[in-house]
Structure formats: structure tokens, C-alpha cells
Amino acid sequence: MANGEVTVALLGGGTVGAQVARIIVENADDLAARIGAPLRLTGVAVRDLQKDRPGIPADLLTSDAAGLAASGADVVVELLGGIEPARELVGLALDAGSSVVSANKALMAQFGGELHDKAEANGVDLFYEAAVAGAIPLLRPLGDSLAGDRISRVLGIVNGTTNFILTKMTEAGADYDTTLAQAQALGYAEADPTADVGGLDAAAKAAILASLAFHTRVSMADVHCEGITEVTSADVAAASDMGYVIKLLALADLSDDGTGVSVRVHPTMVAESHPLAAVREAFNAVFVEADAAGEVMFYGQGAGGEPTASAVLGDLVTAARHRVTGSLGAAASTYNEVAILPIDDAVTAYYVNLDVEDVPGVLAAIAQVFADNGVSIAGVRQDGKGEDARLVVRTHAAREGAMSATLAALRDMGTVREIVGAMRVIDTPGVVA
């Protein structure tokens, strides 16, 4: 910080970059009051210098991203997305002693550990609130307000596209393909929706959330990932019959002994009275269970230029304030040695819907299969007769490994015609004063 001002370099001049640049200029007085010194934009790195960029002063545009990144600005804001050249440029900025604000989910999910090390070595800040759940103030509370508490579980609806699709399937009763096409027409899903519906976007965010919640290093490769492409309207109807809605959840939980963490993304039946069930359309929410704080949920818009710009601005204000007060790097996490558990060691309750032969003893035989694999049954409902006989089983929490073995054994039974549905279940939190 020199001349009593905080210098800011922007890498990327797209939608979010233009918003951020505009707010820095338009709200200059307000931001200066909050930070304790004025912000000065020193440059905006873009690929195409010819393109018209309303809101960004033309003389600040540069195509020399590496030069700007290494220029030693107080804060470098990275809004490029993707791994390269973002990874290299953020590295240059940190090594030049700049604090970095990034909205880059992919980068932080894959190289968060490496970049945190670099930030720590250089004694600067590295913030990325916008990388998960858009404008929801989430990462700072996780690291800050809940400091001194122990988080046991994080459950998130972190992908707007899949939540939009599942909400429409639930409320309109439509099937997956129809709803996906509708979401694409409305702009809620991409032409190639794989990253969203396959759960990969949620998995990247799960890795970041788990890293912060458990002060450990989780990268995307550690996340067990199942998308929503197999969710049928029959699953949605069955969930509704039982008082549940289906949500794609990013989950991270600590094992009972506190030595391991399981991180996964999969469709989940969530009890209708659980606060996450009320998160509709493209909204996001993250539900945190902590020892002392109890249950806490953060809800808001997950995507969009304005919310993302708002989150970037929040980080920029904090990083700039730290330059003014000299309290850089104070938020760097301490790291715990927590093992990443394989999916078989995750513990969860299940719903299983079986199409069975209506013959004497079928329930006893099926119950025996669950018992043989050490899975405890919480409840059974038998519907229909003859050709239409259905058996719906709700289990208590069990190891995933035990549950997979149970499902494999059920599939081999002559009396089981088909496993119509099998899904993990989250119940309503208990009543706490």
C-alpha cells in the first residue's frame, strides 16, 4: 500500500469483471469509508483489447495478464475461470506479495492447497467466497464466526441447475428429460449439461466446503460423485408419498471418532420439514451441523453476475482493509490431519423400493438379507399384491459398503423382480430450543 490508497488489478473483463470494475468506480466513496482508504484500479487484463467493455475505463485495459498479475498491486482479483492460465497468474500475484481474491471454483477445488501454501509463505490473503454458492456469505462464517466450534457435518445444495430440474420434477410431476429440455430453454441448463447434471460442479464445491469446514485438504478427486441423470419421476413420486423431496446434496461429514471425513455428491431424499427441502428453483443453501452452534443454514442465489460480483466485492473489501490495517494472512487456516474416507466408509440411511414376488416368506427372506449385511431396518411398507407387490424399506444409518452388499444380494434374489429405487435419506433435525 502506497500513497494512502489500495491498488487493485483485475484479471478478466467479462460479466463479473465489468460489474466489479463498475462498482469500484461508482461506489468509490462508500468503499473508501468501509476500507479506510480509497481503492484504485490499476488495470484490467483481457484477451481481446478490441471488444467493447462498458463500465471499464479503456486506458486500463491490457492484454499482458502476466505483467499485471506480477505488478505488485495490493489486491489481484482473478475472474478468468478454468485452471490455466489462472493457476499460473494467481501464483505470480501471490509471489509478488499481492493478496488474491478469486471466484474460480475449479482452480480452488484442484489446487487450493498449493495456493494456500503460497499465500501463507508470502504472508498475504487468499479469499474465494464467490467460488461456492455465489453471494451467500458462507466461507467466511465457516472459517470465522464458527471458529472455536467443531463442525461435524456440512450438507449443501450448491448447484442451481440440478436444483431447478429437481424442483420442477417435484412440483410439475414431469420426467427428467422433459424437465432438462425446459431448463435448457429457460437458460437454467447449458446445451451440454454434463458438468451440472453429472454432479461435477457440485463435487468441486464439495471439495472446497469440506476443506474449510474440516481445516483439511480435500481435492475434487477425493469426492465420490453421483449426478441426477438416473432420478426418475417414480423416485420423485415415491419420495413425495413418504414426505420427502429429492435434492442433489454435496455432503461432508466427520467420522464418529473424528479421524476421517467422507465427501460425496449424490441425489438424496430430504424430509419435507428439513430446511433444505424448502430451497427451491435455482437457489443454493448450505446446512452446517456444529457441536456448539447446533444447526445453521446459509441460503441465497448460487449463480449470476450480480451475486458473484457482490461476493467478490465482499472479499475485496476485507482484503483491502487488511492491507490498510496490516493484518494480512490472519485468516490462513491451520490444517488438521484428517483422512479422506473411501465411499464404502460413508454412513447414511437408505430408502429401498423393491418390486417383489407376492409369495409367502418374501418379507422374512428380504429382512434376512439386510440383517446378514449388518444393515438395521427402521421401517417397512408393503404395497399392492400379486404382480404389483412392492416393498419399501427404510434403513437406519449404515456403512455404504454394507448397503452396497445388501443391494447386490437383493438383486440376486429370485423373489426380487427389480430394485425400483434406492436412495440415501436425510431426516429432519431434532427439535432444539
Q: Which residues bind a copy of itself (CB under 8 A)?
A: 19, 23, 27, 30-31, 33-34, 36, 129, 134-137, 140-141, 144-149, 160, 187-188, 273, 275, 277-283, 285, 290-301, 303-304, 306-307, 309-311, 313-314, 316-318, 321-322, 324-327, 330, 334, 431-433
- To the nearest whole angstrom, how small is the minimum distance from the Cβ of residue 1 to a copy of itself? 13
Name the residue type at position 349: A
Minimum Å gap between C-beta 170 and a copy of itself is: 12
**Residue 240: partners with Cβ closer than 8 Å, 6 or more residues away:** 170
| Minimum CB distance to a copy of itself smaller for 94 or for 309 | 309
User: Please, which residue, 64 or 171, has the CB nearer to a copy of itself?
Assistant: 171
Produce one character per residue of 18-44: b if its CB has 16 or more CB atoms within 10 Å, e if not.
Answer: bbbbebbeeeeeebeeebebbbebbbb
Q: For residue 26, give the C-alpha cell.
A: 461508482
The amino acid at 99:
S
102 or 353: CB nearest a copy of itself:
102
Instruction: Give the nearer residue to a copy of itself in terms of CB position, either 19 or 406.
Output: 19
Min dist. Cβ of residue 333 to a copy of itself (A): 9
| Closer residue to a copy of itself (CB): 119 or 398 | 119
**All cell numbers assigned to 22:** 463498475
Q: Is residue 123 left, alpha or beta, with left meaning phi > 0 and alpha meaning psi from -120 to 50?
A: left
- Residues with catalytic function: 205
Asked if residue 342 has a cis previous peptide bond (ω within 30° of 0), the answer is no
Pair type for strands 283-290 and 294-301: antiparallel
CB of 411 to a copy of itself, least distance (A): 37
CA-to-CA dists, residue 357 to 166, 405, 414, angstroms: 31, 21, 8
The number of residues making up the chain comes to 433
Least distance to a copy of itself, CB of residue 145, Å: 3
Tell me the three cell numbers of residue 116: 494456500
DSSP H or E stretch at residue 311: helix 305-325
For the chain, the first-to-last Cα distance in angstroms comes to: 48
Q: How far is the CB of 157 from a copy of itself (least distance, A)?
A: 12
Extended beta strands in 115-241, E state: 126-127, 151-157, 224-225
- H helices, E strands: number in the chain: 14, 18
Phi and psi at 16, nearest 5°, equal -70, -45
* Residue closer to a copy of itself (CB basis): 170 or 348: 170
- Report in angstroms how near the CB of residue 300 gets to a copy of itself at its nearest: 4
Distance CA 91, CA 85 (A): 10
Closer Cβ to a copy of itself, 81 or 275, answer by number: 275
